[in-house]
Amino acid sequence: MELIKIATAGSVDDGKSTLIGRLLYETGALKTDQIQHIEEKSAARGFGYLDLSLATDGLLTEREQGITIDVSHIFFSTPKRRFIIADSPGHVEYTRNMVTGSSTAQASIILLDARKGVIEQTKRHFFITQLLGIKHIIFAVNKMDLVDYSQEVFDEIKTALSTLVDKHGAKGVRYHYTPVSALFNENIVHPSDKLDWFVGAPLLRLIESIPIEKNKAKDTAFQLQYVIRPKREDLHDYRGFAGNVRSGRFEVGDQIDIHPSGRKSQIKRIERYGEAVQTLEAGENGTLLLADEVDASRGDSFIKADASINEGKNIQATFCWMQDNPMAVGNKYWLQQGVQRSLVKVKHIDAKIDLEALENTATDLLSLNDIGTGGLTLAQSIATKPYAENPALGAFIMIDPNTFNTAGVGFIEAV
């Protein structure tokens, strides 16, 4: 069965936790003891209905305040597909959590409150899906029960969303618009009588059927995680380079370049967990044994000789900043792309995006939750591609050298 990761985000009170609780409930992911627990809690709070949001908000402070603070990973499945929902808070101060939750998603559900329509947070979430290159965006207009399931209200919101998409939407992205009431289970699992004017699949059926896009980049690159050297007589000369294929496909006999040393060699043998195989594909782990006694260590890349990879010491990128200490010109950080690391210095910061107006404004500082553009100088060149061409080689994190916190994330535009 296929696995799809879907990001959701929403602001306080737009019913996101209820929607996810609903999906869990309807797909049978909530077990009897958990439902009993929700029944008891709902009754204790004086609700006349099942407060399904109680199924997801996992932290004490979240339950206290009735909001989502951190990304939660929620699992459910239908006979057709398995789902991991990365549920993140939608509020402006949690932009970084939204980026985090969305980073591994193949689709995104942007939730709107039918009474409020497109708000700033809708735009922010939309912008983040564009930044991450998510290929399927579902605009789910929730709380339709509070607007009498009105087609007019939905159409108005849809028009506003279409304007947003036309102006800022990337090519190659599919947009879906769907009205729902998570609280009353309308158009979630089954077509709704109350929304009989709506033509399209209910939400669950939609996320069951959207195609999962793969990284089609052909640049064949492998990143070395760990050198395996068994301390055994019979394997005295064994040096296995264990790692992961970021993109492309390797075959026994391939000529490779080792980055950053520039040395060349040939793949003599490929093993997967001790057993020989002929090929290794994107996303697969493997252990490569080379024809020559070359030096390679953790963080190095093996690149197929005919691949076009950028190796440079200057990077232009879009950043999302994730810590309190701002990113400023002259600051130093560790950059980590996959498993390769280099020290970097911020050379220039050009602009940040005003997420309300979706326009650039000039700045020389990126603060917590800012999204903006700038340039870095690297101490050591890394093997990359622009994010738009190859997501597996084009995204990186920035690590604060003092706190070691993950300070931000970057998306390479040019090397």
Partner 1 sequence: MSTRKQLEEESIYIIREVAGQFDNPCLLFSGGKDSITLLHLARKAFAPATIPFPLVHIDTGHNFPETIELRDKLVAEYGLRLIVGSVQDDIDAGNVLEEKGRHASRNSLQTTTLLNTIERYKFDACMGGARRDEEKARAKERVFSVRDDFGQWNEKLQRPELFDMLNGMIHNGENVRVFPISNWTELDVWHYIREEKLEIPSIYYAHEREVFLRDNQWMPVSDFVQVADSDKRQLTSVRFRTVGDMSCTAAVLSTATQLDNIIEEIDGSDFSERGARMDDKRSEAAMEERKKVGYF
Question: Residues in the site for partner 1, rule: CB under 8 A?
Answer: 1-3, 31-34, 55-61, 63, 69-75, 82, 84, 96-97, 99-100, 103-104, 225-226, 228-232, 235, 238, 240, 242-244, 271, 273-274, 283-285, 298, 322, 334, 336-339, 391, 395-397, 399, 404-406, 409
Give the containing element (helix H, strand E) for 64. Answer: helix 60-65
Pairwise CA distance, residues 159 & 165, whole Å: 10
CB of residue 280 vs partner 1: minimum separation in angstroms?
11
Work out whether the CA dihedral 127, 370, 338, 313 comes out positive or negative.
positive
Longest CA span, the chain: 77
- C-alpha angle with apex 318: 313 to 324, nearest 5 degrees? 100
Residue with tokens 């709704």: 192
Look up residue 184 and give its two tokens: 């009353």
| Cα–Cα distance measured from residue 331 to residue 398, given in angstroms and rounded to the nearest whole number | 11
Q: Which is nearer to partner 1, 299 or 374 (CB)?
A: 299
Cβ proximity to partner 1, 87 vs 186, nearer residue: 87
CB of 159 to partner 1, least distance (A): 34
On whether the CB atoms of residues 286 and 280 are closer than 8 A, the answer is yes
DSSP state, 294?
Answer: -
Report the nearest approach of partner 1 to the CB of residue 288 (Å): 13
End-to-end CA distance of the chain: 38
Distance (Å, whole) CA 298 – CA 126:
37
Is the bond preceding residue 79 a cis peptide, omega within 30 degrees? Answer: no
Min dist CB 252 to partner 1, Å, is: 18
**What residue has token string 């039918």?**
114
**What are the tokens at 240?**
């296995």
Judged by CB, which is closer to partner 1: 4, or 111? 4
Which DSSP state fits 124?
A: H
Classify strands 2-10 and 81-89 as parallel, antiparallel or unpaired.
Answer: parallel
